[in-house]
């Protein structure tokens, strides 16, 4: 029996990445408030991803629901979520200027049964170039940082703030695709189920 796949996220980046793969899914925002415990950032992100996926599963018990949560952790262990306003966005960016931080994205795959769950997280280290408060304000004025953990997006204008990364690029975007595939495979769901019919034909010659 084929499953319905639901992305429990309103993130345009995650939707765009899945659509780019040709994935079959619909989107439903969980409404879960993101609250993180700084004692174990990865565990906190995984708990949030599970909460989001479980909330959507409640209304769609026959579906496979994918939840995700992205956080930014500074070198001194502080968790940075999404900015509350433009002033907060500038202050977050100034904390990142000229230093390294870690981006953690957790993915949870739950359903169709309540006890069928898989969750894990990916970490990527990011080095930011030194930039001024004027640079930060100019970037914030573009509107790009306002719905992003750490107040920047690596795939658009925020790329001009990033010197280098160590790890998965898509994790910094907010959706480590190889991790998603691994979790689905752990649940016994192969790529043909969520990416559509396999058009590859082997050459037997």
Q: How does pLDDT run across 41-74, given as a tens digit for each residue?
A: 999 999 999 999 999 999 999 999 999 999 999 9
Residue 32 φ/ψ, nearest 5 degrees: -75, 130
- Among 37, 59, 69, 85, the active-site one is 69
Work out the percent of the chain whose per-residue pLDDT is above 90: 69
Mean local confidence (pLDDT), 5-31: 91
What burial class does residue 93 get, using C-beta atoms within 10 Å of its C-beta: 0-12 exposed, 13-18 middle, 19+ buried?
A: buried
pTM: predicted TM-score of the whole model, two decimal places? 0.89
Neighbours of 142 (CB within 10 A): 11
Structure-model confidence comparison of residues 121 and 189, the more confident one? 121
Check residue 177 and give its pLDDT. Answer: 95
Which range (24-33, 139-148, 161-170) has the least confidence?
A: 24-33
Is pLDDT above 80 for 1? no
Question: Is pLDDT above 70 for 205?
Answer: no
Each residue of 147-195: pLDDT tens digit? 898 999 998 899 999 999 999 999 999 999 999 999 999 888 888 888 8
The mean pLDDT of the chain is 90
Asked if 124 and 171 touch (Cβ cutoff 8 Å), the reply is yes
Hey, how many other C-beta atoms are within 10 angstroms of the C-beta on 101? 19
- CATH topology assigned to domain 5-195: Maf protein (3.90.950)
Domain ranges of the chain: 5-195
Omega before residue 112 within 30° of 0, cis: yes
| Cα 72 → chain centroid | 11
In this prediction, residue 192 carries a pLDDT of 80
DSSP string of 18-35, one letter each residue: HHHHT---EE--------
- Cα 13 to the chain's mean position, in Å? 8
Q: Does 40 participate in catalysis according to the annotation?
A: no
């Amino acid at each position: 029996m084929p499953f319905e796949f639901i992305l429990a996220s309103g993130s345009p980046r995650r939707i765009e990445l899945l659509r780019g793969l040709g994935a079959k899914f619909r989107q439903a925002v969980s409404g879960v408030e993101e609250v993180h415990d700084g004692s174990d950032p990865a565990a906190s992100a995984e708990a949030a991803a599970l909460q989001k996926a479980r909330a959507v599963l409640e209304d769609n018990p026959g579906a496979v629901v994918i939840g995700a949560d992205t956080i930014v952790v500074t070198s001194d262990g502080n968790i940075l979520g999404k900015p509350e306003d433009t002033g907060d966005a500038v202050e977050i960016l100034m904390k990142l200027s000229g230093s390294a931080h870690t981006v953690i994205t957790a993915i949870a795959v739950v359903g169709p049964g309540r006890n069928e769950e898989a969750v894990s997280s990916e970490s990527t280290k990011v080095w930011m170039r030194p930039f001024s408060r004027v640079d930060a304000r100019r970037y914030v004025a573009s509107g790009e940082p306002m719905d992003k953990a750490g107040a920047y997006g690596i795939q658009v204008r925020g790329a001009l703030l990033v010197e280098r990364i160590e790890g998965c690029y898509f994790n910094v975007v907010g959706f480590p695709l190889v991790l998603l595939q691994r979790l689905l495979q752990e649940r016994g769901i192969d790529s043909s189920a969520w990416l559509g019919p396999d058009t590859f034909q082997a050459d037997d010659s």
